[in-house]
Structure 1
Amino acid sequence: MEDKIIDASKSLHIRLLSREDAASLLQFELNNRAWFETQIEARPTAFYSLEGVQRHISALLVDYAAGKFHPCLLVNAESEILGRANLKNINQDEGSAEVGYRIAYQHPGKGFASAALLHLIASARFEWHLQRLHAYVLDGNPASSRVLQKAGFIADQVIPNLARVNQLELDGKRYTFDLVS
């Protein structure tokens, strides 16, 4: 499933995160910090250093090895990070996981989030053998909701105070996708 070219015309590759990505991931996160913090909860300040990102990557790779997390990067032909996509909270006993993705502020509407989501669905089905995926979207993020709905996710639960963004408690929705038919 890794190092897959989603669309050659966009030169988009989706691959597993590695320790060697620390410097470029830090730059990606710094470049997009203000944008992301309007959409999701802010990361701790300590994250935004090379050491912080290295710790973050190490923790994700430990969780990947333990079968709890599947961290991916979306990169172009020049290895520039365009986004991130993850299966998280993988629970083999329940056959479920949560999907998440974040796309650089310069690249909305180019199909990268949809490509990332399709990659995560395929990974969940064929690599992890899961049965159900969940995604959580804050109110006020219709683009992410559309990506999920287009892929077949169904909004099935309203969640009050899902996250704190810019000092505000925001509601959201849980979306579910069944991988077995």
Structure 2
Amino acid sequence: MKVISERLVMEPISEKDWTLFYQLHTDPKVISFCFNEPSILEIEAKFQSRLIPWSRESSHWLCLVVSELATDKKIGIIGFCLHSGVAEVGFLFLPKYHGLGYGSESLSALLNYSHLQIGIERYSAVVTEGNIGSEKVLTKSGFVLDKIVPNAYEIGGQLYADHIYQRINIVT
């Protein structure tokens, strides 16, 4: 599996991507509105679960490493997990690549690929209250805010609402 957009290429995560995965799960600028910093054992377990080959019948996450097409620099990860035919999407990018449109570009390419090649029609995403950058990426990619669940998630001892987004591909 390889997804290519104008400036990016996305390919399944592999053992050689451990450093990137670890960095994305420990950098305070990346995780501040996502989750508390996990332990090394939690990160390793999450990483190992992402290495398992993915198919439409899988219950684990499809995880793709996002790289710049021109430089081959690895800049983040993106993927989804299917639950009853709905693909829950997620993404993390290194801070130096925030604000460059890479989140929107990679998500749009992934949505297009997963719709055309895998037949996925419905998507969801959960964003922690205050994660404005991720919400902009989602809305730019056709997601709409479906509901807000107050006090749903705790980060750093503070409760935040979950913003639940949905997207349905309209077949014409």
Length-normalised TM-score, structure 2:
0.84
Query: What displacement does 1:73 show?
Result: 0.9
Residue type at the aligned position of 1:29: L
1:63 Cα deviation after fit: 6.6
The amino acid that maps onto 2:66 is: L
SS at match of 1:40: coil
Q: Which amino acid aligns with 2:65?
A: L
- DSSP 3-state at the match of 1:125: helix
The answer for unaligned runs of 5 or more in structure 1 is none
Q: After superposition, what is the alpha-carbon deviation per residue over 1:122-147, rounded to whole angstroms, capped at 9, x for unaligned?
A: 23312331220001111112221111
Judged with a 3 Å threshold, the aligned counterparts in structure 2 of structure 1 residues 58 and 37 are, in CA distance, closer, same or farther, namely closer
Q: Could you tell me which residue of structure 2 aligns to residue 56 of structure 1? A: 46
Partner of 1:15: 11
2:62: which partner in 1? 70
Write the distance in 2 (CA, Å) between the matches of 1:180 and 1:158: 24
Deviating 4+ runs (over 6 angstroms): none
Say if 1:63 and 1:44 are closer, same or farther in 2 by CA, change over 3 A: farther
The total of aligned residue pairs comes to 168
Contact 2:29–2:95 (CA under 8 A) maintained in structure 1: yes
By how many angstroms is 1:180 displaced?
Answer: 3.6
Establish whether residue 151 from structure 1 lines up as the match of residue 141 from structure 2. yes
RMSD: 2.3
Residues 35 and 105, structure 1, Cα contact 8 Å, conserved in 2? yes
Structure 2 segments unaligned to the other structure (5+ residues): none
Aligned amino acid, residue 72 of structure 1: L
Q: TM-score with structure 1 length normalisation?
A: 0.80
